[in-house]
Structure 1
Amino acid sequence: MSTTSGQSVRPALGNTPRVYPPDLQPLLQSILAALADIDFVHESEVAIVRDSDADEWLKQTVIRRLEERHRERRAPYVRQLAAVEERIRALAA
Structure 2
Amino acid sequence: MYSPSFQPLLQSLLATLADLDFDYEQEREKLNTSPDANIKIRALEKLKARHYERRQPYIQQLAILQKRMMELRA
- Confirm or deny that 1:71 pairs with 2:46: no
- Confirm or deny that 1:23 pairs with 2:23: no
* Residue segments in structure 1 that go unaligned for 5+ positions in a row: 1-17
The Cα RMSD (Å) is: 0.9
Tell me how far apart the structure 2 counterparts of residues 35 and 67 of structure 1 sit (CA, whole Å).
14
Tell me how far apart the structure 1 counterparts of residues 24 and 51 of structure 2 sit (CA, whole Å).
6
- From 12, 22, 29, the equivalent of 1:40 is 22
Using structure 1 for the length normalisation, give the TM-score. 0.76
Of Structure 1 and Structure 2, the greater helix share is in 2
Shift of 1:54: 2.6
Question: Matched residue of 2:35: which SS?
Answer: coil
Deviations 1:14-49 (A, max 9, x none): xxxx2x222211000000000000000001101110
Larger radius of gyration: 1
Tell me how far apart the structure 2 counterparts of residues 47 and 56 of structure 1 sit (CA, whole Å).
14
Shift of 1:61: 0.5
Partner in structure 2 of residue 15 of structure 1: none
Deviations 1:31-85 (A, max 9, x none): 00000000000011011101x1331111010000000000000010000000000
Aligned residues: 74
Structure having greater relative contact order (Cα 8 Å, sep ≥ 6):
2
Using structure 2 for the length normalisation, give the TM-score. 0.94
